[in-house]
């Protein structure tokens, strides 16, 4: 279930993505939930995040309302273990398929559909980046609508 605070933080986010997040919130495993930390972002805040190394681009999907950041929560406490975000991406992926909305996860920068093995996707992403001589940028809490297709 989304809280009023979550809904407030989702203001200005694409309604299809909001629907996926809302659906996922009702299908989390027992004892685990998530809350929304960020949706639509201002240019000023994006500049601050890039300066702090927390984002890598001024072309963020947050600036256009096509991205959300979610924090996994257990007993009311935010959790940052990556495995919990792999699991969250699974739930988001199943919701995305059910609502026929493509969603990209920032852990692997790949589409999630609730079917593939996300641990493998994550490993493949890391390998690809290293092969390019670039540091992987794993953003477990981040989900966005793909840039190609209907949500450009």
CB of 151 to Zn ion, least distance (A): 15
Element (H, E) at 69: strand 67-74
In angstroms, rounded to a whole number, what is the distance separating the alpha carbons of residues 93 and 112? 5
Residue 142 touches Zn ion, criterion: CB under 5 A: yes
Stretch near Zn ion under the rule CB under 5 A, chosen from 3-11, 22-30, 127-135, 136-144: 136-144
Structure tokens at 37: 């930390």
Nearest CA among 48, 69, 47 for reference residue 58: 47
Q: By CB under 5 A, which span of 14-22, 44-52, 59-67, 87-95 interacts with Zn ion? A: 59-67
CB-nearest residue to Zn ion: 142
Q: Which range touches Zn ion (CB under 5 A), out of 11-19, 80-88, 109-117, 142-150?
A: 142-150
d(CA 128, CA 143): 20
* DSSP 3-state of 1: coil
Residue 6 sits in the site that holds Zn ion (CB under 5 A): no
Cα 26 to Cα 20, 23, 73, 110, distances in angstroms: 10, 5, 14, 23
Positions 63 through 102 that interact with Zn ion (CB under 5 A): 67, 69
Q: To the nearest whole angstrom, how small is the minimum distance from the Cβ of residue 68 to Zn ion?
A: 7
Q: Give contact residues for Zn ion (rule: CB under 5 A).
A: 67, 69, 142
């Amino acid at each position: 279930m989304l809280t009023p605070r979550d809904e407030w933080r989702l203001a200005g986010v694409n309604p299809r993505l909001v629907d996926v997040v809302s659906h996922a919130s009702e299908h989390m495993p027992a004892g685990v939930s998530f809350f929304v930390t960020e949706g639509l972002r201002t240019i000023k805040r994006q500049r601050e995040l890039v300066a702090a190394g927390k984002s890598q681009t001024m072309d963020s999907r947050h600036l256009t309302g096509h991205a959300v950041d979610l924090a996994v929560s257990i007993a009311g406490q935010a959790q940052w273990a990556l495995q919990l975000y792999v699991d969250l991406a699974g739930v988001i992926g199943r919701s995305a398929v059910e609502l026929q909305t493509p969603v990209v996860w920032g852990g692997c920068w790949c589409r999630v559909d609730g079917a593939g093995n996300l641990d493998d996707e994550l490993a493949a992403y890391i390998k690809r980046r290293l092969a390019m001589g670039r540091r992987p940028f794993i953003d477990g809490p981040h989900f966005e609508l793909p840039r190609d297709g209907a949500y450009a």
